[in-house]
Structure 1
Amino acid sequence: MLARLLFLLSLLIAFTAQARIIRIEITSVQSPTFEGKAFGRVGTYEKLRGKAYGELDPNSPQNALITDIILAPRNAKGMVEYVIDIYILKPIDLSRGNHKLFLEINNRGGKLFGGFNKSSNGNDPTTAAQAGDGFLMNMGYTLAWNGWDCSAPPTNNNLTISVPIAHNADGSSITGPSYEYISFDNATSLTYALAYPVATLEKAKATLTVRDHLGDPLTVIPADGWEYASDKTIRLLPAGTPFRQSAIYEFNYTAKDPVVAGIGFAATRDFVSFLRYATADDFGNLNPLANDIQYTFSYSLSQPARYVNDFQTLGFNADEQNRRVLDGIENWLGGASGIALNYRFAQPSRTERNRQNHLYPEGIFPFAYPVLTDPLTGKTAGRLARCTASNTCPKVFEINSANEYWVKAASLLHTDSRGNDLPAPANVRFYLVSGAQHGTGNETSRGTCQQFQNPTNGEPTLRALFMALDAWVTKGVAPPASKIPKKSDGTAVVAIPQPGSQTGLVPQAALGWPTIPGVTYTGLITTRYLLDFGPSFNQGIVSTFPTTVSGRPSYASFVSKVDQDGNEVAGIRLPPVAVPIATTTGWALRRTEYGENDGCEGAGQNIPFKATKAERLAANDPRLSVQERYRTHEGYVEAVRQSVRKLIEQRFLLAEDAEMYIKAAQESKL
């Protein structure tokens, strides 16, 4: 009997030491929400807002890889605490829902699921209009969000997380190198806020440099040319001097008081695990989804897609009882990158593109899912390594626009470090949305770029692929095969690294890019170089920041070849690409006043065809005119109709979304 009691006691002790949500606090309920709108057979929804309180055992193997958690303050139980904002939209009658969780990993605190519901629904969707067409609610999904990003501003209904500051064992402040990439596309900014307070106000222990273009040499700004406005703010001198418009400033300094940012991974793990598996918290508060959730899915766009990449790599898809957290993952616009979250002095809001936020720890091996040995570092790793060991791997769709291939080296998702094609793992598929920029651009605006932006909208494909992902997870229905550029089928064009430059080039002839009057082509592409962040980098602690990529080896990456119009041949070709009236690209260049011919970050281009043959010849445009292509208006409409029919058959477009393309073609003046 005593032995049995001791065994049960040991189980209780083991349970209480596990990382988990210990308390959930619902601070507001709106029932019903969306002004009482009913969603088909599911009925009305309610909105729950609140906070969740978590505890982590810093000595647990699942948590020990969180940078600096061992240096975080602990409570009386020896646990490290955190607090997250939570937000849930659920059927009032859960029995009428589909018992599936749609977790959106928020972007810098904001909700971006509107594309699924054809709504710009804001950060606190409340009205019937903000429910859009109710795509997710009509099917009965419960939607949830949680804070994870320590840099998310606590404004505008953003979801935030509170994590502790790490200290040395004696309680003193931790100090170390930090770095700021600074660029304002205006001529009025007078100050710049640092991510962390400085350890000392001695200007001799910091360096501020400037250059006008990415390829220019660095110019050091002397100590009498800048000053600290506070321990977290710098400004130029004399007072009132603005930062030069679109110039690139870089600030290296010694920071203090790093937050334990990597807790953000554990927060999502434990929140989803609680919703899926728990009945109540430690204080008797009921799980609002208790005994309901049978399948879990995540959706993420851009920054949080990179977060989900690292979430998998670091093994957070297994909770501390070794149960799968997410069954299906749909990543959109994440590229092959991770996120600089699990590092000392983390800045997860940063993202590197061909003229943006260089020299942060984002493009770090492993890039691909299979376990590979990196010839540049000798390391062996892969996104699937930890989940394979714990048998908790999810089904994954990695979906990217052309922009991610040009400015975030997305091809490294499905190649080895030398750019050789890899077979898709059994649980992962890869898709390129051909000719699209990072999100949907405004075709009437140039922004800082030379050409009008690219309006190709990938959201209809996201809806169709999410249905395919659900069927794969819940019914075992095989998804559409990967659609990406490949070396093996001749659709890939390999980029050439440029010695001493932070970017590479895609040769025009190899790409097949036509010479279009008034359009500059340089072949500029982001190249992932092997960057050395110091001897402690394996533990996620940046001990130094590289100041240049000069002489460093690079990882091979590629983009899709283009046809005679400049439109991509690989990937999912939506009607704007398959039945074009313009050349649409995933890359763009900056115009004169904003750093001419440097990369225009996430933007693409929309370069319309001439209307008639006469106009084309007069402009010396090599691309056929609209009239030469389609002859009549009905000819154009029919071509669009055939295109969407094919996409439906391939499961890249839902029948309910096809009509929008046909209607737009019919209403066009072509």
Structure 2
Amino acid sequence: MTRAHLTSMAVMITALMTGIGFPALADARVTRLEITSKQSYGTFKPGEFEHWEGRIFGELQPTEKIPDIEKAPRNADGLVEYSEKISLTFPKDPKSGNGVLLVDIPNRGRPYAQALYNSPRDEPFEAGATEAGTGFLQDRGFAVAEVQWELGKGADLPVFIDGSGRQRFIEGVGFAIVRDAADFLAHATSDKSGTANPLQGAVMWTLASGKSQSGRYLKTFLLNGFNMTEGHRVFDGMHIFVSGAGMLPIMQSGTGPQSSAAEVPTFGNPEFRGVNDGVLTIGDVIQRVKARGENPPRMILINSTTDYFSLRASLSRTGAEGTAERRIPDNVRVYDIAGASHVVLRETHCELPPARLDWSPVSRATLLHLEDWVVKGTEPPESHLMPLEDAKNDPMVLHAPSYLPKAIVEIPKRDEDGNAMGGVRLPDMEAPLGTNARQNPPLSFLCMLAGAYVAFPRTQADAEAAHDGRRPVLERYTTRDEYVNRVRRATRELERDGFLLPDDSAIIIQSAAASPLWHTSPP
């Protein structure tokens, strides 16, 4: 059966089950869509794509379950107003796509979809990239929307004056903004003034993607009931990256100018509140969602190695007490990427070179698994986790805060080279050329997330000169063919297990074959 047939069936089934047709949702909470820029984004497998930018304006009932919204000024209709920046990248003929809208939740105002899914191997994209890169998302037919939600980063939130005369921003409206914008793009025909929804009739399923801060956004969004509107689910699936055990403290009103979501616990401020408080595990989130009678979305969560050292990621598996692992819900998969860093940066001011393991291939493969899980019901691979051990008093680990006295932070077990064991193992870890995702002094905010890559010595003479006890590269792999064959076997195993696509396998093998380490006079 073709994707078009599946789409038509899904539309009919949804309409029958809900008792409402999509046109009835045209008067959703979004009141105005204002497009300020339109340009071509390039030509991909489905055809030409366009990139639009603009703003969405909307209204909320003052009875929404958002702290302090009842204190906000109201318009003539008694409603609370908001607006936010939005950008759309979609096929010029929207119906030539795959029927899936991917809502990219910006991180501190920066889009992340291109860095997560379109990033090339040798020049990894950082947060904020808008280039097409590999064009993976577009070749696969995804429509992508980026909706700003954060105070000071493109969202105009309602305000009120508190009893002491201070202006306060109602930050919880940032959840309603994404809910309403996503629902409008997926289901509405037009805004209240008659401006057409550019994606009308082309979206059958809606996914959300968020990394780090915006991954915590999505978990908090789900926990607080924002994934339901008008009696139906907003996001059918969520792809959440490197969110640790954290939530997002914006169900409150802040004084600005910075968002309450901007900070996290660090080695300099390990007692920071609002992130590792309350709900820590995804199992607890899903339990609360089901207790409200909601059907939770299908979810894939990705962890990096540095998340365990710097973001207390183990608490997302054990909760705030002991080391016993909590059960992962049936609608969730969790994949630890061995050797991955929270961010891949080209350069830092840390003591060691930044970690450089390219884990975007796993992002691409697991996004397609999430799509198939939502659209076809095809279950993705089982969760792959790294084995953990108590971090004890390791000064290179961000330990539990004093307000969680029974919590035990754990870190991945490591081999004799210092590389993490278990998890999803890219060829760079199965045939390593160095230690990946070591902690990187001085453990500033950037260094604790970037981690370090420390190359193995090339020869025994190099090892002795550097007083490096790790086995040299030319003793591990006596010829380049031996090394490339190790890489090739690892790529085929990952393809078989569902964590690597053939296109990425070819790039990884080519990169290994081009390594200069076996030249007589290496650079």
Residue 73 (structure 2) aligns with: 73
Q: Secondary structure at the match of 1:334?
A: coil
By how many angstroms is 1:648 displaced? 1.0
Give, in whole Å, the separation in 2 of the partners of 1:393 and 1:81.
29
- Provide the residue aligned with 1:494 in structure 2: 390
Matches within 5 A, 1:173-572: 173=164, 256-319=166-229, 321-345=230-254, 346-355=259-268, 358-371=271-284, 382-386=285-289, 389-418=292-321, 419-442=323-346, 445=347, 447-485=348-386, 491-496=387-392, 505-506=393-394, 522=395, 524-529=396-401, 531=403, 553-572=405-424
RMSD: 2.5
TM-score by length of 2: 0.87
Deviation, 1:384, is: 4.2
SS at match of 1:370: helix
Paired with 1:386 and 1:398, the residues of 2 have a C-alpha distance of: 17
Paired residues of 2:169 and 2:253 also in contact (CA < 8 A): yes
Partners of 1:358 and 1:343 lie apart in 2 by: 19
Preserved CA contact (<8 Å) 1:441 1:603: yes
| CA distance, structure 2, for counterparts of residue 352 and residue 151 of structure 1 | 21
Mapped contact 1:317–1:387 kept (Cα < 8 A): no
Asked if structure 1 preserves the Cα contact closer than 8 Å seen for 2:114 and 2:129, the reply is no
2:67 equivalent to 1:24:
no
AA matched with 1:360: R
Q: Which residue of 1 aligns with 2:53?
A: 49
Partner of 1:666: 513
1:607 to 434, 446, 454: 454
**Which residue in 2 is equivalent to 1:499?**
none
TM-score by length of 1: 0.68
Secondary structure at the residue paired with 1:643? helix
Q: Report if aligned partners of 1:429, 1:481 keep a CA contact under 8 Å in 2.
A: yes
Following superposition of structure 1 onto structure 2, how do residues 104-143 of structure 1 map, counting pairs within 5 Å? 104-115=104-115, 116-118=117-119, 120=125, 125=130, 130-143=131-144
One-letter amino acid of the structure 1 residue matched with residue 43 of structure 2: A
CA contact (8 A) 2:172 2:253 kept: no
Show the counterpart of 1:509.
none
Are residue 164 (structure 1) and residue 67 (structure 2) matched? no
Kept after mapping to 2: 8 A contact 1:313/1:384: no
Separation in structure 2 between the aligned mates of residue 110 and residue 436 of structure 1, nearest angstrom? 21
SS in 1 for 2:232: coil
Give the 3 Å change call, closer, same or farther, for CA 148–582 of structure 1 in structure 2.
same
Structure-2 change in CA distance of 1:316 and 1:554 (3 Å):
same
| CA drift at 1:603 | 2.2
The count of residues paired between Structure 1 and Structure 2 equals 484
Q: Which whole-Å CA distance do the structure 2 matches of 1:19 and 1:276 have between them?
A: 11
Query: How much has 1:664 moved relative to structure 2?
Result: 1.4
Identity of aligned residues (%): 31
Q: Is the 8 A contact 1:366 1:383 kept in 2?
A: no
- Superposed displacement of residue 492, structure 1: 1.0
Q: Give the match's secondary structure for 1:661.
A: helix
2:245–2:312 CA contact under 8 A, matched in 1: yes
**Distance between the aligned counterparts of 2:107 and 2:31, measured in 1?**
25
The structure carrying a bigger helix percent of its residues is 2
Q: Is the 8 A contact 1:99 1:141 kept in 2?
A: yes
Please report how far the alpha carbon of residue 134 of structure 1 lies from its aligned counterpart in structure 2 after TM superposition: 1.7
**SS in structure 2 of the partner of residue 151 of structure 1:** coil
Q: Post-superposition, which runs of at least 4 consecutive aligned residues in structure 1 deviate over 4 A?
A: 119-125, 617-620
The alpha-carbon deviation at position 124 of structure 1 amounts to 8.3
1:624 alignment partner AA: R
Aligned to 1:235: none
The separation in 1 between residues aligned to 2:211 and 2:93, in whole angstroms, is: 29
- How much does 1:107 deviate? 1.5
- Contact 1:279 / 1:287 at 8 angstroms: preserved in 2? yes
Contact 2:28 2:188 (C-alpha < 8 Å) held by counterparts: no
Q: Helix, strand or coil for the counterpart of 2:214?
A: helix
- 2:409 and 2:38 map into 1 onto residues whose CA distance is 49
Take 1:56 and 1:298, find their aligned partners in 2: how far apart are those partners? 22
| Structure 2 unaligned spans of 5+ | 1-19, 518-523
Alpha-carbon distance between aligned partners in 2 of 1:529 and 1:310, rounded to the nearest angstrom:
21
Residues 166 and 384 of structure 1, relative CA distance in 2, 3 Å threshold? farther
Preserved CA contact (<8 Å) 2:270 2:401: no
- Who is 1:585 aligned against? 437
Distance 1:669 1:28, change over 3 A: closer
Residue identity opposite 1:577 in structure 2: M
Amino acid at match of 1:660: I
Structure 1 CA distance, aligned partners of 2:240 and 2:127?
21
Shift of 1:528: 3.3
Query: Closer, same or farther in 2 for the Cα pair 1:327/1:299, shift >3 Å?
Result: same
Given that 1:318 and 1:324 are in contact with CA atoms closer than 8 Å, whether structure 2 keeps it comes out as yes
* Mapped partners of 2:126, 2:213: distance in 1: 19
Answer with 1 or 2: which has the greater Rg: 1
- 2: CA distance, partners of 1:71 / 1:144: 31
